[in-house]
Structure 1
Amino acid sequence: MFTVAALMALGTVIEQGETPDFYFQKYPEENPVLGFFTWRWIFALGFDHMYSSPVFLGTLILLGASLMACTYTTQIPLVKVAKRWSFVHSPVSIRKQEYSDTLPRASIQDLGIILMGAGYEVFLKGPSLYAFKGLAGRFAPIGVHLALLLIMVGGTVSATGSFRGSVNVPQGLNFVIGDVLEPSGFLSTPSETFNTEVHVNRFYMDYYDSGEVSQFHSDLSLFDINGKEIMRKTISVNDPLRYGGITIYQTDWSLSALQVMRDEAGPYNLAMAPLKVNGDKKLYGTFLPVGDTDSTNLKGISMLARDTQSVVLYDQEGKFAGVRRPNSNLPIDIDGVKIIILEAIGSTGLDLKTDPGVPVVYAGFGFLMLTTCISFLSHTQIWALQDGTTVVVGGKTNRAKADFSDDMDFMLDQVPEIVEPSSSTRPESASG
């Protein structure tokens, strides 16, 4: 388990699924990490795809085999022993238990009634008594092992049988799911759903009062191979679309084009390109040529936008000319050119995946939480023997050992004491 945890931590530190050039630059041989770790180690051990690498999967197999062996050789025999009615016929054996006491004048039947009232299963055989409760606590470790095995099986299926992919689609365009998804392992098998076509009907964003983007949405339609719409949903961050085992997440956005009118002509779609800026802010720009487009000294009007709310325009000399809001239909005159910004066309960033192991992993974690809680229940066993008028009592538990003695003292104090009838001698009367 420590090795699995260490490999998972290493998979978090080492970037996963990058191109070879990325690892050549990040882990060069000239300056190895920790003095020895280079890209050669990463490729040789498969650490660029840690969770489907032979090292990681092999370690999971060893852990699974260890859990199954422990369950078969240790846990199951313990449960079988716990289920047996184990009567003890020797006071010496009872006194060797973790807890033992003696009731000088008591009945083993009365003790049995007290134990039944405390939730124990009680069995009597002649002068011997055996009682237990909390047998589920004995079964719980087996459940914990099975839950861990479920989680590992689900994780292995996810690592070797999934498909993943990302796509950036402008509003109004389509893509086929199978063209985007790539297999993650040797068990990845495509389905008929991969032929489904996704159409981006509309992309739009919500904003805070400060003007910052608060949420972005994509109105998607799914079409089967015959062109029939089979599903439509507007997705957003944390509200994905699920269909046929495929999940489509809203993860990113960009601007793909500006639709403008120029001197009452158009509309024209001007492609927008992302521009590098400091920090994580987004900025997109486009260019509207003015004059002779064959000239080597081509000039034009520049347009910049951070989102779909407003567009900043600059003249041919690069000077600020004004700001216009898309869809406002408010014209602006720059260097004798009349421009109207009709629409800022957004582009939605989508992540797609199929993960057949997720239901198994979720079931495993749910079962693990349940069985872990049950494992804290104490499995308690009590033995008693009637020795004349004396009852010898002993017991043990696998949990809450400090409380067990207090509980036993409390129950034994409730056992009634047998009071022997006093003998009275009547004097004989003289008969005449």
Structure 2
Amino acid sequence: MTPLLRLVGWIADLKLAIGLLVVIAAASAVGTLIPQQESASFYHKLYDPQPWLGLLPGDAVLGLELDHVYSSRWFLALLAWLALSLVLCSWRRQWPALQAALRWVDYRTPRQLSKLTVAETLSCTDALADLERLDSRLRQRGWQVRRLDERLAARRGVLGRVGPLLVHAGMVVLMLGAAWGALGGQRAEQFLAPGRSLELVDRRGHTTLTLALDQFAITRDPAGRPEQFSSSLRLLRGNGQVDQEADHPDQGRDGADPNLLKAATISVNHPLRFQGITLYQADWSLAAVSLRLGNSPVLEVPLQSFPQLGDQIWGLVLPTRPDGSDPVLLSVTSEQGPVAVFGADGARLGQIAIGGEPLEVNGVPMRVSGILPASGILLKRDPGVPLVYSGFALTLLGGGLSVLATRQLWAIAEGGRLHVGGLCNRNLTAFAQELPNLLGDLDPAQTDAPMGEAA
């Protein structure tokens, strides 16, 4: 055997494929445990004080590409290796097995049948008539029969031989889709306030879509905890898109926006899919607070997150003097308020209800008229999704077909005897029990001792 054939045999080995599956599953678990596709500072902040598993600080996590496992070079190499192993295994084993199952084998002598896994000999007065009755019975029960003069060959469940090939093909297609999605996919998370829009641009800088948020609602339980978030969105065509008026004949009529492509509401676990883009309701935030200082007009001031003060706390530092002195901290945890006010020394000065009475801070009356929430929208474009779904479908179909047992049966009429033998690739006991039912009542004569037994 040449070195090339030995290499092919090693790559196509089933044990190697199983080992690769275990490694890929372990790598996927690591990708689930470690947050993916965050900034480098995030991993240093998270794992430098306390290394992951006590072994890997931030530099090691980044160096091993554990921050983007599914698009890392080593993970894609594992997928390619497994795909090659499955292709070679199908070519060397499953395809020849399917060809053998489709090929009619002609056994000509009773001695050949006696060596099969299941074999019996019937004593009968008219062997040819019994052979004819067996032919008819097999056809009625869904067997494929090939009849010759004094013998026949029959088979059933040949589709079961296609199952392993489809499983391998489905896994290869699934891995191709996963690799394509990892290399060619896009992912972005954006906080968007109601009335604002976000332009999605292609690699040439053209606006392909405009995402506009009309309304964002937070459903809370009686204790005030958020239960569900929902966003009312509009997708508008961008200046880089081809005109799709022919595909949307109703647009532009009755005062409708001619650029409107789709309007929908998304919520947690109910994303929107459009032209290869999936929009998820991922998070929420507080964008701005509307307030008045004394007799000033209503000011809309942006809020920022203060993780050092606690989880889901937003606020801003606001000076109360024209020269920027005497700053106070305004903090809020909900779009429903109230807004807490703290002095420069950290002392709590009071709180302001939304739309309520003003609070005098350092001699300045301060009113809050509203808090603007922001919707956290996750945008994902994964060109490999159709391949992934197709791979799953092929794998499930192949797994279902693999359950089918492939059964083959031969019969030879010789003198006053009918010799029958058969093979089965799985559930041999059931086939051995089915054979007497197939041969029953063919002839009133008694059945001789079996020539072979189920192995």
TM over 0.5: yes
Q: Are positions 1:144 and 2:171 aligned together?
A: no
Q: Is the 8 A contact 1:246 1:353 kept in 2?
A: yes
Shift of 1:373: 0.9
CA distance in 1, matches of 2:137, 2:398: 30
Shift of 1:384: 1.0
Shift of 1:31: 7.9
Shift of 1:331: 2.6
**Number of residue equivalences:** 401
Code of the aligned partner of 1:64: A
Q: Which runs of 5+ in 1 are unaligned?
A: 179-188, 420-432
Code of the aligned partner of 1:259: S
TM-score (normalizing by structure 1): 0.82
Which of 83, 95, 108 is the matching residue for 1:76? 95
Q: Are positions 1:217 and 2:230 aligned together?
A: yes
CA distance in 2, matches of 1:60, 1:287: 51
Segment of structure 1 superposing worse, 358-367 or 22-31: 22-31
Which of 135, 142, 161 is the matching residue for 2:158? 135
Residue aligned with 2:307, SS: coil
When residues 119 and 315 of structure 1 are mapped into structure 2, their CA distance, relative to the original with a 3 A threshold, is closer
Q: Is the 8 A contact 2:150 2:413 kept in 1?
A: yes
Shift of 1:379: 0.5
Q: Is the 8 A contact 1:221 1:229 kept in 2?
A: yes
In the alignment, what sits opposite 1:57?
A: 76
Q: Are positions 1:285 and 2:297 aligned together?
A: no
Shift of 1:126: 1.3
Q: Is the 8 A contact 1:303 1:311 kept in 2?
A: no
CA distance in 2, matches of 1:374, 1:205: 47
Q: Deviations over 1:182-227 (max 9, x none)?
A: xxxxxxx848885323233332211222221111222333333359
Pairs within 5 Å for 1:270-419: 270-276=301-307, 281-286=311-316, 289-290=319-320, 292-294=321-323, 296=325, 298=326, 300=328, 303-314=330-341, 318-319=347-348, 321-322=350-351, 324=353, 326=354, 329-334=355-360, 338-417=365-444
Shift of 1:274: 2.1
Q: Which runs of 5+ in 2 are unaligned?
A: 1-20, 240-257, 447-455
CA distance in 2, matches of 1:333, 1:278: 23
Q: Is the 8 A contact 2:278 2:379 kept in 1?
A: yes
When residues 34 and 387 of structure 1 are mapped into structure 2, their CA distance, relative to the original with a 3 A threshold, is farther
Residue aligned with 2:336, SS: coil
Code of the aligned partner of 1:76: W
Larger Rg: 1
When residues 27 and 332 of structure 1 are mapped into structure 2, their CA distance, relative to the original with a 3 A threshold, is closer
Residue aligned with 1:356, SS: coil
CA distance in 2, matches of 1:404, 1:249: 52
Code of the aligned partner of 1:225: G
In the alignment, what sits opposite 1:4?
A: 24
Segment of structure 1 superposing worse, 40-49 or 196-205: 40-49
CA distance in 2, matches of 1:289, 1:42: 42
Code of the aligned partner of 2:312: K
In the alignment, what sits opposite 1:101?
A: 120
Segment of structure 1 superposing worse, 253-262 or 264-273: 264-273
In the alignment, what sits opposite 1:170?
A: 193
Shift of 1:259: 1.0
Code of the aligned partner of 2:181: S
Code of the aligned partner of 1:294: D
Q: Is the 8 A contact 1:315 1:334 kept in 2?
A: no
Percentage of identical aligned residues: 28
In the alignment, what sits opposite 1:87?
A: 106
Q: Is the 8 A contact 1:321 1:334 kept in 2?
A: no
CA distance in 2, matches of 1:28, 1:16: 17
CA distance in 2, matches of 1:120, 1:276: 71
Shift of 1:245: 1.8
Q: Deviations over 1:82-113 (max 9, x none)?
A: 12222211111111111111111152112222
Residue aligned with 2:100, SS: helix
Shift of 1:155: 0.8
When residues 260 and 38 of structure 1 are mapped into structure 2, their CA distance, relative to the original with a 3 A threshold, is closer
TM-score (normalizing by structure 2): 0.78
Code of the aligned partner of 1:199: A
In the alignment, what sits opposite 1:425?
A: none
CA distance in 2, matches of 1:211, 1:371: 50
CA distance in 2, matches of 1:370, 1:270: 57
